[in-house]
Structure formats: C-alpha cells, structure tokens
Amino acid sequence: MIFNVEYIQIAAFLGAGLCVGIGAITTGIGSGIIAGEGAYGIVKQPKANEQIFRTMLIGQAAAQTAGIFALVISMLLIYGITFDAAGGWYKAAAYLSAGLAMGLGSIGPSLGAGYAGAQACKSVARMPKHGNTIMTNMLIGQALSQTSAIFALVIAFLLMFSVPNQPEGIGVGKMLVKSLAFIGAGLSIGLGTLGPGTGIGFVAGKACDMLGRFPNEKSKIMRTMFLGAAVSESTAIYSLVVAFLLIFAIK
C-alpha cells in the first residue's frame, strides 16, 4: 500500500476538530454555570453586585484555560506542523492522538473549574465582606483543577513534535503496535484527567462554600482542600506516566 501525505493531513485535521470541539463543550458549560450562580447571587445580594460580578468574570476566565489549550493544539495541528509522507502511520497516529489527548483532557478540568467558580459566586453573595478571601481560594482551586489539563497539553506537544518518522521497511505488525501505542497515550492522559479535574474542582467548590459560612476556619478549610486535591491529582499522574511509557518505551 502506497502511503500518501494526505493520510497524515486527514489524521491531523480530524485531531484538530475533535480537540477544539470536545474542549469547547465543557469549557462552555463550566463558564455558564459560573455565570448562572453569579446572576443569582447578584439578585440575592444587590449591594455586592460589583464584587460578585468580578468574581464571576475572573472565575470564567480561569475556567476557559483548558479550552484555550485545546484551541492552541488545534491551530498547531492545522498550521504548525510539517506534513511529510515519510512520517508514515507513526505521524498520522501521533497527530490524531494529540488532538484526542487535549480534547478529552479539557473535560474534567473545565467542569471542575466551573463548579469551583460557581460556588465562589454563591459564597460571595452570602458573605461579601470575605469576598477577597473566597476569590483567592477559588483561583487556587481552579489552578489545581487545571493541572491535569497541563499534563494533557504536555503529552499533546510530545506527540506532535517528538514522534519520529516511521522507519522504512518496518513490518505491519510493528507499525500497528507503535501507532496504537501513540493512540493509547492520548487516550490515557485524555481520559485520565476526567476524574482528577472534576474532583479537584468539587473540593475547591466546597471549600469556597464553607469559607462563606465559616470564614474563621480558613486555615483548616484550605489545608483540607490542598490535601484532598493532592490525593485526587495522583491518578492523573498515573495516567501521565503510562502515556510517557506508551510514547517512549514501546519499541
């Protein structure tokens, strides 16, 4: 079978579409959840309008992080890589996998950041005088929830720029093994961020909620949040390690 460069282009463009398409779903949902709670909070506490509105906008901006990562990877898959038939199925699989990694990798972090931002808006409406503390906690929690999206971004970059061309004369079996290993790496980190990203956002959201109810317990609440986030993040690290092994250790 003659391998044409168009096969690599098809894989890259399909990866780009899946990346930004999947990434836009939960990024939009997360931002909308924050806006909904912000609107409700403003009606509930009109005097804190500016504070709630600021928290809402900052929370939405943070929740867009993974979606922006997905956009960057999509643009690179379209315009930032060189298409060469010598890349073979290795490059085709790697480019498609890069899009899957970042697209799927944005789902959990976007939902988690959205929940944290929504709870922060609700909490500021309940306790406006502690709004700065609540917003700071929100941003820390959202940053933690986006960590796994950064893992997905790293794997996507590696798949795009570190995968070698397919060796000449390679057997079909070995070619399939290595190509599917690249696909597996994208799925590993992409699906592996779903739980950690969402879970850390849930922890951060509940911490924001409790800061609006028991502000004097700030140190205990934040300590618990950090510990819970660290444990939740561990499974994303497992997925990252497996993705590295599939890219570099499978021969």
CATH number at 40 reads 1.20.120.610
pLDDT digits (tens, 9 = 90+) for 129-159: 999 999 999 999 999 999 999 999 999 999 9
C-alpha to C-alpha distance for 14 and 12, rounded to whole angstroms = 5
Asked if residue 66 lies in contact with residue 27, where contact means CB atoms within 8 angstroms, the answer is yes
Tell me the pLDDT tens digit for each residue of 5-29: 999 999 999 999 999 999 999 999 9
What total number of domains does the chain contain? 1
Whole-number Å distance between alpha carbons of 200 and 197: 6
Q: What's the pLDDT tens digit per position in 39-90?
A: 999 999 999 999 999 999 999 999 999 999 999 999 999 999 989 888 899 9
What region does 88 belong to: left with phi over 0, alpha with psi -120 to 50, or beta?
left
- Give the C-alpha distances (Å, rounded to integers) separating 124 from 50, 115, 119: 11, 14, 9
**By residue range, what is the domain housing residue 156?**
5-248
Which tens digits make up the pLDDT trace of 230-246? 999 999 999 999 999 99
Q: How many Cβ atoms from other residues are within 10 Å of residue 119's Cβ?
A: 29
Helix (H, G, I), strand (E, B) or coil at 146: coil
Label residue 92 by pLDDT band (50, 70, 90).
very high
pLDDT tens per residue across span 178-210 = 999 999 999 999 999 999 999 999 999 999 999
Q: Which pLDDT band holds residue 250 (cuts at 50, 70, 90)?
A: confident
Does the pTM of the predicted model rise above 0.95?
Answer: no
CA distances from 120 to 127, 145, 168, 208 (A): 10, 15, 56, 5
